[in-house]
Chains A and B, each alone.
Chain A
Amino acid sequence: MIPASFDYHRPASLDEALKLLKKHGDDAKVLSGGMSLLPMMKLRLASFSHLVDIGRIPGLDAIKEEKGVVRIGALARQAALERSEVVRAKLPILADALPLIADPLVRNRGTIGGNVANGDPGNDQPAIMIALGATFVARGSKERSIAAGDFYKGLYSTALAPGEILTEVRIPVPPARSGGAYVKLKRKTGDFAVAASAVQLTLGKSGAIERCTIALTNAGQTPVEAKEAGQFLAGKTPGDLTLREAAQIAAKASSPSADRRGSVEYKKEMARVLTARALKIALERAGRN
């Protein structure tokens, strides 16, 4: 299988890349690691006349912590994130997900920018970024920030305007007494999630939950934030019953479709079970810091 014909461009700078996108409009697509785009083009599910390969633009792959924010360049590869001490120490929820994304060879090429920007609800990092309250930095004619929670508009449809490139992911370092977890069910290595749940919460001094964000992967056309479940938990002292109820509320926000990974009922039930597990782990972690 080979993709339909296209022209390939390898700009040396972001400005050059933006110029190419402006010139070719809807006929152009940004190529990062290519782990989603190239298979789609090979299967002829997508075709573009121009690919703008941003893969070698320098300075877009840093992973660093600066003034309470973890800044991850769009070109940071999943394998680099997996090895990152900053990610391990500051963002356990992201560290949970990394070994579960695709397979190690795909993670050697795939980038965080591609994972969050292509708008596939089966990707793991969008739900995690929503849970973490991350913002995405986009460069077009000017630079702007978009909250992860406002970014996903529909299946493969995002808030990125034509001619914009996602350049960086900014994640506020969770405050003290915070914990996060990502729990994913998949049939085998390399498969997308049957269901997965991202939970990030912060406890108050009294031990009650101050705030909690829950987001679900592969639970609809976009990553789904289970807002009601988060609101339900705010101010509550965590106990078995409360957590169970929150997971039930979260599952109601899920609207998966039936496919070879399972029926709607099964996937909703898995969203509930995985959320309950993620809540438990997140709480344990919050208790430790």
Chain B
Amino acid sequence: MATHKISVTVNGAAREAEVDSRLLLVHLIRENFRLTGTHVGCDTSHCGACTVQLDGTPVKSCTVLAVQADGCKVTTVEGLEQGGKLHPVQEGFTEKHGLQCGFCTPGMLMTTSALLAQNKNPSEQEIRQAISGNLCRCTGYVNIVKAVQYAAEKMRSA
């Protein structure tokens, strides 16, 4: 079966890869690029642990082909920190105890950082709707919401 040469910008760096048609984006990220912050959870596009941003939009990378990302910008959890400084959502999750086991956290961070890029002051309802495709099996949603509110506040006052 055919392979395809693709170029993607991953967390700001241009990367190339030779991929099989059926390679999934999450595997390209984890196995080819060795960025293992993005998790594989349910592998059936339910849980959202594999969420990354594709040209700024959060998507479930277990349900996107690597070749579909050709020419696109991919941002993973490793790309949130800038110049040694945590992204406000990362800080919020730390400050507000937004994680317990941490498995869903990379996906939560990618979804909520995308939300805050669009909506500076989301209501609790809007935050809950935004993360409705990201499951936390520790059920720590209350603190996740607080973490996002903390980040929103921090970004507004910055």
Contact = CB atoms under 8 A, between A and B. Distances in A.
A-B interaction? yes
A284 B21 CA distance: 51
A188 to B, nearest CB: 9
A105 B134 contact: yes
A7 B44 CA distance: 22
Contact of B132 (A35, A42, A189): A189
B4 A109 contact: no
A35 B133 contact: no
A109 B21 contact: no
| Chain B residues touching A, range | 20 to 34
Contacts of A51: 21
Contacts of A34: 63-65, 68
Given A38-B63, A55-B68, A4 B133 contact: no
Contacts of A4: 22
A49 to B, nearest CB: 9
Given A1-B43, A106-B133, A38 B65 contact: yes
Given A42-B43, A189-B132, A105 B58 contact: yes
Contacts of B158: none
B129 A108 contact: no
B63 A35 contact: yes
B4 A99 contact: no
Contacts of A53: 68
Interface string B1-38: 11010000000000000001111100100000000000
18 contacts: A2-B23, A2-B24, A6-B1, A6-B21, A7-B21, A8-B67, A10-B67, A39-B63, A42-B44, A42-B63, A79-B57, A99-B129, A103-B133, A104-B58, A105-B111, A106-B45, A108-B57, A108-B59
Interface of A: 1-8, 10, 34-35, 38-39, 42-43, 51, 53, 55, 79, 99, 102-106, 108-109, 189-190
